[in-house]
Structure 1
Amino acid sequence: MKDISSNLSRDLIGYGKEAPAVQWPHGANVAVNIVVNYEEGSEYSHEMGDGENDSLAEVDYAFPAHMRDLAKESMYEYGSRVGVWRLLRLFDEYDIKATFFGCAVAFERNPEVASVAREAGHDLLGHGWRWEEHWRLTREEEAGRIKKAVESFKETWGEAPSGWYCRYGPSINTRELVVEHGGFLYDSDAYNDDLPYYVEVNGVRHLVVPYSLTYNDIQGTRSPNLFLDYLKRGFDELWLEGSRGRPKMMSIGLHPRLVGQAARTGALREFIEYAQAKGGVWFARRVDIARWWAEHSDEFASGRANNDS
């Protein structure tokens, strides 16, 4: 472990040339975590008093920033009105348990999504009080947002989230604040590995379960074929590595307003069928991966040491 608390020093080495000898449940070659980024209704908008319009909608039209963009707002509404329900039905059909990266205000504005998702067995990671960049906030503001979000989740989801992930990336204070808040098993504010790892934060051993923007519905033109190609190619290569004794994890990021459109949901359906037919895959919630790592990581490290000797 490296102590990041004092200077946020970068770790460009990680596990090095020999990754841990991971053993996923049932001997799976790949642990796949499907993530639903539920942000609709919490994004920047004039309706929310922000004085700006957000991006990452179906079409990023060059609309004047000082005016309220009703078209873009309605594109976000599609995700909460239609897209998220299409995804939940798909997960039920294939018995997939996903992870909701939830924004507290988004659940407050559509609490049925939170209650139905939890009842279906999906897990929750805190994605902010709103869908906002934490690097815009002071340390005190950010600490307040984390506390406010957790209290909100207890009301809408029914319990506190097991992990934390900011919009795009953390501030220089985020990881310390997550640890100081307590109650989080892990955070996902990193994009630097295919496996979980530990860091030391102010003397506390803290778990990081990295996320990825590569296998994500925001890629490229958001074409269903392009999205499916990304998923299949990534899965096949990771599956091959796993079959050779080095299993990894794969995070698939979804947005209901994007992949919740029927054509892209069809591509996601095709990938799920493809992966399940191939076998050797553990479709897991993020909390399941975090717990598995916490319980077995010492065994993995020992296996690596034995293989290196």
Structure 2
Amino acid sequence: MTRDLIGYGGAWPALTWPGGSKLAVSVVVNFEEGAEQQVIDGDPVSERMGEVISVVPEGKPDPGQAQIFAYGTRAGAWRMADALRQYRVPATVFACGRAAERAAPVLQVFCEDGHETACHGWLWRPHADYDTAEAEAEDLDRATAAIAKVTGAAPVGFFCRGAESPWTRDLLAARGFVYTSNGFDDDLPYRDPSGLTVVPYALDANDMKFFHPNGFVRAQDMVDYVTDALDVLEAEAARGLPRLLNIGFHLRIVGRPGRFKAFEQILAELDRRRDRLWLARRIDIAEAFDKACPA
């Protein structure tokens, strides 16, 4: 992999999003519960990151951690689906295949509300740790099939935890995927040599920072952060610069009552600014970029 530290070099493409806006906003809901590694599910280890760092010895069952994850689909998802409906905000659901398979009725609710489902791998794991392209392809196909069975359509977008393998993008392109989101290096989509469009994601305006010591503590912390990001990007958009803002959420994180206000208030803020933004699913963003900026 050759790193590109220049990108557009400050010469942004002549891009206006549908509706005449210069600022697109992508809301992402991560659907990982049931796809995290758990010894009780037959995995070699259990996921350690949750409300606390697990102290259960590696290789031992960790039912408490499993229950922390299960809260997302048992309780949090329903609050979040209702809020998305109330504020009329379209979202992309990053769904792991095993999570889609095990919590199909929950994913179906998001699908029926018109949200896009993208592939988040079979398990919630980095694709960089696959030793062979064949092993990765097997899990990718398994995840795609599981999502298609639940939603009625094969996903065309992808994002994995951590990082992709050297083969990921070629495997995706060969399977008809349109975009990948394993890019954290720009405010706009761009093209990959594989033919895929990279719709960058972000880990800063992301509720995972509630689980990090240098991150958000109270719900208002995330609301303030996202509001500041909107203010900065709207000012740049007013000067004619095209931009994309990504906001990431997780069922088990902002689905909790003490953090839910972050999700609700951010959606309310997006609704208030609706006439100045393009609120869109990631597939719509990828297709709009491809149309406006053909290869």
Per the TM superposition, whether the score is higher than 0.5 is yes
Q: For residues 243 and 126 of structure 2, what CA distance do their matches in structure 1 show?
A: 29
Aligned-pair distance for 1:148? 1.3
Pair 1:225 & 2:220 matched: yes
Counterpart residue type for residue 115 of structure 1: Q
SS of the equivalent of 2:81 reads helix
Alpha-carbon shift at residue 70 of structure 1 (Å)? 1.4
Gap change, CA 1:102 and 1:139, over 3 Å in 2: same
Moved more, 171-180 or 71-80: 171-180
Q: Are the equivalent residues in 1 in contact too, given 2:108–2:151 (CA < 8 A)?
A: yes
Which residue number in structure 1 is paired with residue 197 of structure 2? 207
TM-score, normalised via structure 1 length: 0.89
Aligned residue number for residue 280 of structure 2: 284
Q: Which runs of 5+ in 1 are unaligned?
A: 1-7, 302-309
Residue in structure 1 matching 2:76, options 79, 83, 96: 83
Q: Does 1:188 pair with 2:181?
A: yes
1:189-240 residue CA offsets vs partner (Å, 9 max, x unmatched): 1111111111222xxx321111111110011145312211221111111111
Following the alignment from structure 1 to structure 2, what is the Cα–Cα distance between the partners of residues 47 and 222? 31
- Matching residue of 2:158: 164
Counterpart contact for 1:239–1:247, Cα < 8 Å: no
Structure 1 residue 251 corresponds to structure 2 residue 251: no
Deviates more, 1:217-226 or 1:92-101: 217-226
3-state DSSP of counterpart to 2:38:
coil
Provide the secondary structure at the position in 1 that maps to 2:207: coil
Q: Cα–Cα, structure 1 residues 87 and 280, in superposed 2: closer, same or farther, change >3 Å?
A: same
| Match runs of 1:1-309 below 5 Å | 8-137=1-130, 138-180=132-174, 182-201=175-194, 205-219=195-209, 220-278=215-273, 279-298=275-294
Identity of matched residues, %: 37
Give yes or no for contact 2:177–2:196 (8 Å, CA) kept in 1.
no
Cα distance in 2 for partners of 1:285, 1:166 equals: 17
Q: Which residue of 2 aligns with 1:304?
A: none
In structure 2, the gaps of 5 or more residues are 210-214
Paired residues, number? 288
Q: Determine helix, strand or coil for the equivalent of 1:218.
A: helix
Q: Is the 8 A contact 2:181 2:198 kept in 1?
A: yes
Asked if the contact 1:58/1:257 (under 8 Å) is kept, the reply is no
Aligned to 2:212: none
Instruction: Read off the aligned partner of 2:26 and give its amino acid letter.
Output: N
Structure 2 distance, partners of 1:98, 1:288, is 11
The alignment partner of 1:31 has SS state of: strand
RMSD (Å) for aligned C-alpha atoms: 1.5
Q: State the SS of the aligned residue for 1:47.
A: helix
- Looking at structure 2, the residues matched to 162 and 74 of structure 1 have their Cα atoms a distance apart, in angstroms, of 31
Once the 2 structures are TM-superposed, how far is the Cα of residue 21 of structure 1 from its aligned partner? 2.6
For 1:258, give the aligned amino acid.
Answer: I
